[in-house]
């Protein structure tokens, strides 16, 4: 099959719509559902991400995509009891693949609502059970066990999109696309990201622990498939904050840092001890937690809305308590798809516990950026490689 007709393009008024190849068959099989234009954009970008993560780390990888950028990505490291709790998978059996997706989904649960999922390896029943509980649009993977496929086909009243991709498919080295009737052509970004990119230390601290090397590879590979400008925070084998598609580098750093802060605030004992009603929907619980760890919660208390979600009135989580908790965050890695132009990015990243950085370098103010890292004992490498993606 060289062509697949789609319902419409990015919007219902954009017809006709299709995906097609001219020289070979499409490397996909639709096992269930009817994927659309944006589904395929998410599917093909996310598949490349997880495939490269698996190649770089040797670990199964998963990604949670929304609107052609990752909300989360992770590798299949085991989850601690705390990580199981904050990712809401305490009741599940967890294979390495399931651990990878639980982490990817847990990076930014608000943004992952209605995500498109990519898995680097076979989707097993353990992973499918987690997906079945979440609001998701579809999945792409190289294979599915019979049990997993049966579970996934039951989602969305039988309409859940399930795509199988040929894991050995290699696209042509030159890619094209049309914009405003003009054809653009460029060589595919086949830059290999691995540990060899993490050796050019420019700071006083000249080493990364092995865990940070994995996190930095996750951050850089994630950035390779994130709409630019972008900055990515990672820790413990997973993305914890992505700042995608911003015009300013400092806004990327702030946006991603704020998401990393939310990820960490969810681990505070006040959040862990919230008494939700047993029948609360997972998205409602995620939204409520997001409000609880923000200044908006005072309005919720004043309006008595808390009774809709909790069995007992939660204590106020004050701004002062939140700031004190965030000061205990450490061991975070940051990647940037282009150079940091000023030290203000380092100042913001440090507030979210960043200790390790990988960025291309090349700013006329590199000396200021390096000095700021040295002031806080942050280790930084220049990769020499920009990772813009549009």
CA 146-152-157 angle, 5° bins: 130
Closest CA to 203 of 386, 372, 385, 337: 372
Tokens found for residue 207 = 């080493």
CA 276 to chain centre: 26
What is the Cα–Cα distance from 354 to 234, expressed in whole angstroms? 9
Long-range CB pairs of 249-254 (<8 Å, 24+ gap) are 249/336, 249/338, 249/340, 249/341, 249/345, 250/342, 250/344, 250/345, 250/348, 252/336, 253/334, 253/336, 253/340, 253/345, 253/348, 253/349, 254/348
Is residue 230 within 8 Å of residue 244, measured between CB atoms?
A: yes
Catalytic machinery residues: 66-67, 229, 390
With a CB cutoff of 8 Å and minimum separation 6, the contacts of 327 are none
Closest CA to 371 of 362, 382, 380: 380
HSE of 301 in the Cβ direction (CA atoms, 13 Å)? Answer: 14
What is the Cα–Cα distance from 153 to 133, expressed in whole angstroms? 13
Is residue 110 within 8 Å of residue 135, measured between CB atoms?
A: no
Is residue 268 within 8 Å of residue 248, measured between CB atoms?
A: no
């Amino acid at each position: 099959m060289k062509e697949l007709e789609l319902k419409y393009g990015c919007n219902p008024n954009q017809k006709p719509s299709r995906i097609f190849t001219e020289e070979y068959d499409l490397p996909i099989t639709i096992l269930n559902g009817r994927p659309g234009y944006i589904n395929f954009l998410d599917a093909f970008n996310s598949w490349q991400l997880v495939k490269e993560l698996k190649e770089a780390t040797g670990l199964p990888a998963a990604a949670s995509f929304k609107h052609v950028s990752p909300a989360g990505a992770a590798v299949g490291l085991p989850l601690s009891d705390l990580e199981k709790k904050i990712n809401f998978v305490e009741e599940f059996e967890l294979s390495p693949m399931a651990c990878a997706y639980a982490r990817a989904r847990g990076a930014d649960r608000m943004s992952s609502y209605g995500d498109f999922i990519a898995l680097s390896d076979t989707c097993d029943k353990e992973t499918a059970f987690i997906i079945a509980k979440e609001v998701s649009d579809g999945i792409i993977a190289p294979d599915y066990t019979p049990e997993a496929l049966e579970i996934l086909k039951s989602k969305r009243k039988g309409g859940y999109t399930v795509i199988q991709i040929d894991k050995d498919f290699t696209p042509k080295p030159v890619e094209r696309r049309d914009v405003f009737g003009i054809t653009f052509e460029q060589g595919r970004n086949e830059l290999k990201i691995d540990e060899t990119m993490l050796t050019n230390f420019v700071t006083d601290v000249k080493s990364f622990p092995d865990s940070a090397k994995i996190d930095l590879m996750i951050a850089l590979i994630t950035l390779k498939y994130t709409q630019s400008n972008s900055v990515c925070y990672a820790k413990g084998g997973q993305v914890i904050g992505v700042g995608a598609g911003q015009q300013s580098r400092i806004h990327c750093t702030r946006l991603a840092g704020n998401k990393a802060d939310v990820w960490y605030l969810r681990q505070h004992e006040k959040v862990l001890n919230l008494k939700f009603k047993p029948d609360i929907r997972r998205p409602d619980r995620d939204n409520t937690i997001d409000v609880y760890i923000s200044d908006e919660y005072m309005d919720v208390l004043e309006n008595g809305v808390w009774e809709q979600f909790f069995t007992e009135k939660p204590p106020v989580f004050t701004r002062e308590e939140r700031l004190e908790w965030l000061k205990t965050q450490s061991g975070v890695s940051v990647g940037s798809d282009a150079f940091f132009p000023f030290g203000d990015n380092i100042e913001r990243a440090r507030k979210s516990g960043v200790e390790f950085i990988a960025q291309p370098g090349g700013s006329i103010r590199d000396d200021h950026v390096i000095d700021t890292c040295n002031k806080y004992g942050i280790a930084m490498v220049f990769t020499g490689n920009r990772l813009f993606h549009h």
